[in-house]
Amino acid sequence: MRWKPSPKLRVVAWRQVAALLLAVVLLWPATGRAQAPAAIDQLLIEIRPEYDRPSALVIYWITLSPDSTLPASFSVRIPAAAGEPYAVGAGQGEGGVPLAATYERQVDGDWAIITVAAESRTVQVEFYADLDAQGDERQFTLTWPGGVSLGGLGYLIQHPVDSTNVQITPAPDSVTTGTDGLVYSRADLGARGEAASATIQVAYIKPTARLSVDVLQPGAPLEATGPTEAIAIQDWLPWGLGGLGAILLGTVGVWYWRSSHRSMAGPRPRRRRPANREASQAQGGIDASLVFCHQCGAKADVSDHYCRRCGTRLRQ
């Protein structure tokens, strides 16, 4: 004999299932949208004075810590005077072109806090900053204001075309000529605590107005994106799954209500079958529709006029 749970036990079990499904529906959108704060493992500051404008293109090449959970959120500071970042990208798409990333900009005094929502552990933030030009003498100073702990900080500086007497502070660790024919200086400045700042200064002589891009054919920087307002997949996916959970919860509730209603109503009464003709004859006596021959006693049908055994005319 199979064991069947009592109606009360079934009610308790289904209440627990309903509570679990309700918790999934309510909590999933919040957990799906959550972004874990990430630490920056490496920051390489690339500076290209007079690259494609009479100003300096600055690129933050950011590598998040290997243990960062994606999607991740982090913040860096750029000069507020630079305005909106020229581009913010994360990861690489087709042809190695970085994919635009969602970010927010908030001004805090002389600095703009750029908070990036990253789907990749490699992120770049690009912006332009003004040079100080006095005749042929050029000077550019960039300050890293801190605010974020860095596992390592370094710089890569592209010497402008037609430039001479390039002076960089702190002094570079190496100066090499790249495959594009331009000279690059590089240095490793070590780890930085959250409160530690760093200043990089570049000074040089340049008698011409030519830009470096005029003599090169490199891949262009990211297209300007501005603050991203489009809804990303991680924004609508949790809500879609939450709606699916709500439908599932409603279906289970209806099914549970119907099943519990049937169990509490008790078994259906069996329909009594009508008594057969023989039983009714036994209870009510001889059927008046039966006909017998008065001569030989043989049974005859109601429609018979003569006995089928002796031929005697039957009495009607």
18 or 101, greater pLDDT: 101
Q: Are 46 and 118 in contact (CB under 8 A)?
A: no
pLDDT digits (tens, 9 = 90+) for 74-116: 999 999 999 999 999 987 766 667 788 899 999 999 999 999 9
Do 49 and 185 lie in one domain? The reply is yes
In a domain, 79, yes or no: yes
Do 171 and 311 lie in one domain? The reply is no
Do 203 and 310 lie in one domain? The reply is no
Q: What is the mean pLDDT of the chain?
A: 78
Which of 194, 220, 246 terminates a domain? The answer is 220
In a domain, 95, yes or no: yes
pLDDT digits (tens, 9 = 90+) for 133-162: 999 999 999 999 999 999 999 999 999 999
Q: Are 99 and 89 in contact (CB under 8 A)?
A: yes
Which of 220, 246, 278 terminates a domain? The answer is 220
Which of 220, 235, 268 terminates a domain? The answer is 220
In a domain, 227, yes or no: no
CA dist., res. 202 & res. 51, Å (int): 14
Do 303 and 160 lie in one domain? The reply is no
215: CATH = 2.60.40
Do 211 and 297 lie in one domain? The reply is no
Residue 52 pLDDT exceeds 90: yes
Sign of CA dihedral 231, 232, 234, 238: positive
Do 175 and 312 lie in one domain? The reply is no
In a domain, 258, yes or no: no
**Is this prediction's pTM over 0.75?**
no
Of 39-48, 195-204, 225-234, least confident by mean pLDDT is: 225-234
Do 290 and 208 lie in one domain? The reply is no
In a domain, 137, yes or no: yes
pLDDT digits (tens, 9 = 90+) for 170-228: 999 999 999 999 999 999 999 999 999 999 999 999 999 999 999 885 444 444 444 44
State the angle between helix axes of 7-33 and 233-265 in degrees (0 to 180), rounded to the nearest 10. Answer: 170
Phi, psi of 203 (to 5 degrees): -135, 140
Q: Are 261 and 135 in contact (CB under 8 A)?
A: no
Of 39-53, 55-69, 233-247, least confident by mean pLDDT is: 233-247
In a domain, 30, yes or no: no
Phi, psi of 242 (to 5 degrees): -65, -40
Cis peptide before 170 (omega within 30 of 0): yes
pLDDT at 231: 37
- Domain extent, residue 304, equals 286-316
In a domain, 181, yes or no: yes
Do 307 and 199 lie in one domain? The reply is no
Average pLDDT over residues 53-63: 96
Do 166 and 309 lie in one domain? The reply is no
Tokens coding 301: 């049908």
Do 85 and 191 lie in one domain? The reply is yes
Tokens coding 93: 């798409």
294 or 192, greater pLDDT: 192
Do 214 and 118 lie in one domain? The reply is yes
pLDDT class for 169, splitting at 50, 70, 90?
A: very high
In a domain, 252, yes or no: no
Do 200 and 300 lie in one domain? The reply is no
Count of domains in the chain?
A: 2
